[in-house]
Structure 1
Amino acid sequence: MEDRAQRRGRPGRQVGRLLGIPLYLSPSMYLLALLVTVVYGGYAESELGVAAPASYLIGLGFVACLLGSVLLHELGHALTARRHGIGVRGITLELLGGYTEMDRDAPRPRVDALVALAGPAVSVLLGAIAATAAWLLPDRTVVGQLAFQLAASNLLVAVFNVLPGLPLDGGRALRAGVWALLGDRDRATEVAGWAGRLIALVTAALVITLYQLQLITLFGLVFILLVVFTLWQGAGQSIRLARMTRRFPLIDLRRLAKPIFAVPSGTPLAEAQRRRDSDTRGRPALAVADAAGRLVGLVDARAAAALLAARRPWVAVDTVTRSMGAVPALAVGLSGEQVVRAVQAHPGAEYLVTSGEDVLGVLHVADLASVLEPHRAPRRWGDAGPDAPDQWKKDQ
């Protein structure tokens, strides 16, 4: 249904490779496979006269055909992207379709549009082939009905996906057009995101009306509303991403980095915190130095906070310290986009800010979030958690 760049924490397992592209199956896909097998198996039994368990084997075959259709749709995106020099990290099949993960955004509006529309074009081609087969095959036969259902599903996917709103493929095409017109990719993303939310609202109103007129079943209502909810969330994520991306130039690691306050190895944790709190620079990051004054570790604030206050005078600061090598580092000269991509690649709560071999300070991920989303409720950095960067994943 959509293409995504820099997606992290993929919810699925790799099941193979196709043309060098890793293929993943989301756990939700197994639920869909079971549901479609049961529903289509019941249809084959009641309408086509196929006795169980053969009817459910037909249902399973229909699931395999659907998966193949979705995979070919995503391959359309992936191969078009590779043709234009964009790397493909993988294809994931999930409950409501699939997505292609790319290693970077399209460099130009034309490429963005071509990659977006390649998937629906494949679905149209598959639908036309299946429709031709259904027309040629005898009616009321298993093979003929399979061909008809595949034609209908592929053409429906193609039509739905070209609707002009993110996160749909048509939304990417709309963004490409607005991008070419305004010369501002972020503004174009925001426009296409709001269009996606409008499509979600119209679709919800339409499907509720159809249900009230008894033109669709309760199952159809619930399923389409699930799709609408996914669209609404995806559109909102695109809008949020565009606003954050516009703020990338404001990311200055030298300004955001907290200074470091070092204490000797073996210092009781309570004493180390007392010394740090008396520092006139505010609340610097607490670190541990060896006898030669070299920094050897950074105190894990969450681990320190988890210790009861009564125990801290009797526990050495070293027990809640991570070695400097275990803390990811960011070079002070990185651009805002490079910083975000590095954080996505190595999720964490804090990062060393370095200049050559020198450590200039510590970046807390919550401070980075406050630059990207200044209007969101402030949070302590320790609440951000190691998965916080996934909130900034670039769902296109």
Structure 2
Amino acid sequence: MAAPRRGLRSIDGVDDSRRQPRTRRGGRPVGQVLGIPIFVNGSMILLAVLVTYVYGNYVRAELDLRDPFGYVVGFGFVLCLLGSVLLHELGHALTARRFGIGVRGITLELLGGWTEMDRDAPTPRVDALVSLAGPAVSLVLGGVATAATLALPDRTAAGQIAFQLAASNILVAIFNVLPGLPLDGGRALRAGLWWLIKDRDRATEAAGWAGRVLAFGTGMVAFWLYRLGTLTLLGMLFVLLVVFTLWQGAGQSIRLARMTRRFPLVKLRELARPLLTVPAGTPLGEAQRRRSQDPRPNVVLAVSDSAGNLTALVDPIAAERVPVDRRPWVAVDSVSRSRDAVPALPLDLSGEQVVRALQAHPAAQYVVTSGEDVVGVLRVGDVAQVLEPRRPTKQRK
């Protein structure tokens, strides 16, 4: 029930936080459970209304209830279902904490939920245990609900809810252990491949392709059942939504794995653009003329004070917005950003450290420093081009 992203989301799973920004949850906080923040996405409200209406009508017909009571039972089922999803995600979260992995929060959304963690599992064994903890909880809940169904009288509201909870939890447990990302079983598959080939990123990519095969197969089976009349149109549309989510999550896993393998290629010494400083008060047109005559590629304009110290960086977007005929009369300072407002990156950071720093402090550009000296400027688009060379990018100045 969950995720990648995103953020990486998975149909039910664990966020690969090392590759994700820290602000991806997009839900409203509703409280904490065992110290873990809980968030609810707006799509969960849509699901609650839909399930209340559909299940309320079903129960009303089955138990011969009046309109309001059928929907009350439907809403009760929704609450029990949300509780099941939360317990599933707590299985992931508490197992992760057991192995020293921090948990940032749990988000409940349209197709279930996902657990956001502050780092990857350190070993294949831990990765597998964290991934399978959620389905294990769902299986236990399914067993308890099955026992309750057998113990409760037939044709009662409690019996109907128990039966639906048994079916839904067992279905969630079985579906989520299927071997393909972004499902929990896909993460378990990744853990096994990681242990076998000793390369987490290649294992992730392989499990992502398995997820795409699984999504395609699920769609074909759903279409076949619909043609046979076994699956209703509403059921078909719901399965297609699940298939779409699976396909997206698998694709994101593949993309992120490929990006992560390219982290070592992010080298600040090579990516940092050289600086051309001009004195404060220089007309923008004159500064741009000097840059055009500089033989170095990708030069970034900067502003210095009377002592020659770097004080600001020219914002290329703001500079381009100035009409050409006005540039000789506009000081370069007016389209610049203070040096202190631009994040700094030490020159000796590794590729992975650079990517993490960019995720933690999003910006369009960064000053690259060596000790107290600024040695260049890093544009985030240049890093993106290294990580995803196949993706077309706009021409940058």
TM-score, normalised on structure 1? 0.94
Please show how residues 291-370 of structure 1 align to structure 2 within 5 Å.
291-370=306-385
Q: Deviations over 1:133-188 (max 9, x none)?
A: 01100111100000000111111111110000001000000011111111111111
Q: What is the aligned counterpart of 1:253 among 255, 268, 274?
A: 268
Q: Which residue of 2 aligns with 1:170?
A: 185
The Cα of 1:381 is off from its aligned counterpart by 4.4
SS at match of 1:53: helix
SS at match of 2:67: coil
The Cα of 1:328 is off from its aligned counterpart by 1.4
Q: Distance in 2 between matches of 1:70 and 1:314?
A: 62
Q: Which residue of 2 aligns with 1:388?
A: none
Please show how residues 180-329 of structure 1 align to structure 2 within 5 Å.
180-329=195-344
Per mean C-alpha deviation after superposition, the further-off stretch among 40-49 and 122-131 is: 40-49
The Cα of 1:264 is off from its aligned counterpart by 1.4
Q: Distance in 2 between matches of 1:323 and 1:35?
A: 51
Q: Which residue of 2 aligns with 1:91?
A: 106
Please show how residues 21-32 of structure 1 align to structure 2 within 5 Å.
21-32=36-47
Identity rate, percent: 66
The Cα of 1:74 is off from its aligned counterpart by 0.6
Q: Distance in 1 between matches of 2:102 and 2:396?
A: 33
The Cα of 1:356 is off from its aligned counterpart by 2.1
The Cα of 1:54 is off from its aligned counterpart by 2.3
Q: Distance in 2 between matches of 1:213 and 1:197?
A: 25
Structure 1 residue runs of 5 or longer lacking an equivalent are: 383-396
Q: Distance in 1 between matches of 2:332 and 2:68?
A: 65
The Cα of 1:265 is off from its aligned counterpart by 1.4
Q: Distance in 1 between matches of 2:128 and 2:345?
A: 34
The Cα of 1:311 is off from its aligned counterpart by 2.7
Q: Which residue of 2 aligns with 1:372?
A: 387
How much is the aligned-residue C-alpha RMSD, in angstroms? Answer: 1.3
Per mean C-alpha deviation after superposition, the further-off stretch among 142-151 and 328-337 is: 328-337
Q: What is the aligned counterpart of 2:162 among 122, 128, 147?
A: 147
Q: Distance in 2 between matches of 1:31 and 1:308?
A: 48
Q: Which residue of 2 aligns with 1:125?
A: 140
Structure 2 residue runs of 5 or longer lacking an equivalent are: 1-11
Q: Distance in 1 between matches of 2:150 and 2:328?
A: 82
Q: Distance in 1 between matches of 2:286 and 2:16?
A: 46
Q: Which residue of 1 aligns with 2:4?
A: none
Q: Distance in 1 between matches of 2:348 and 2:141?
A: 49
Q: Distance in 1 between matches of 2:291 and 2:138?
A: 62
Q: Distance in 2 between matches of 1:380 and 1:347?
A: 20
The Cα of 1:301 is off from its aligned counterpart by 1.3
The Cα of 1:261 is off from its aligned counterpart by 1.1
Q: Does structure 2 conserve the Cα–Cα contact (< 8 Å) formed by 1:277 and 1:283?
A: no
Q: Distance in 1 between matches of 2:120 and 2:299?
A: 37
Q: Does structure 2 conserve the Cα–Cα contact (< 8 Å) formed by 1:162 and 1:171?
A: yes
SS at match of 1:311: helix
Q: What is the aligned counterpart of 1:101 among 76, 96, 116?
A: 116
Q: Deviations over 1:262-299 (max 9, x none)?
A: 11112222222111221111231111111111111111
Q: Deviations over 1:207-242 (max 9, x none)?
A: 001111111111111111011011111111111111
Q: Distance in 2 between matches of 1:44 and 1:274?
A: 76
Per mean C-alpha deviation after superposition, the further-off stretch among 58-67 and 166-175 is: 58-67
Q: Does structure 2 conserve the Cα–Cα contact (< 8 Å) formed by 1:349 and 1:381?
A: no
Q: Distance in 1 between matches of 2:141 and 2:31?
A: 23
Query: Could you tell me which amino acid in structure 2 is paired with residue 270 of structure 1?
Result: G
Q: Deviations over 1:353-395 (max 9, x none)?
A: 112221111111111111111222233348xxxxxxxxxxxxx
Q: Distance in 1 between matches of 2:341 and 2:261?
A: 31
Corresponding pairs, count? 382
Q: Does structure 2 conserve the Cα–Cα contact (< 8 Å) formed by 1:130 and 1:151?
A: yes
Query: Could you tell me which amino acid in structure 2 is paired with residue 155 of structure 1?
Result: I
Change (3 A) 1:316 1:101: same
Change (3 A) 1:374 1:323: same
TM-score, normalised on structure 2? 0.94
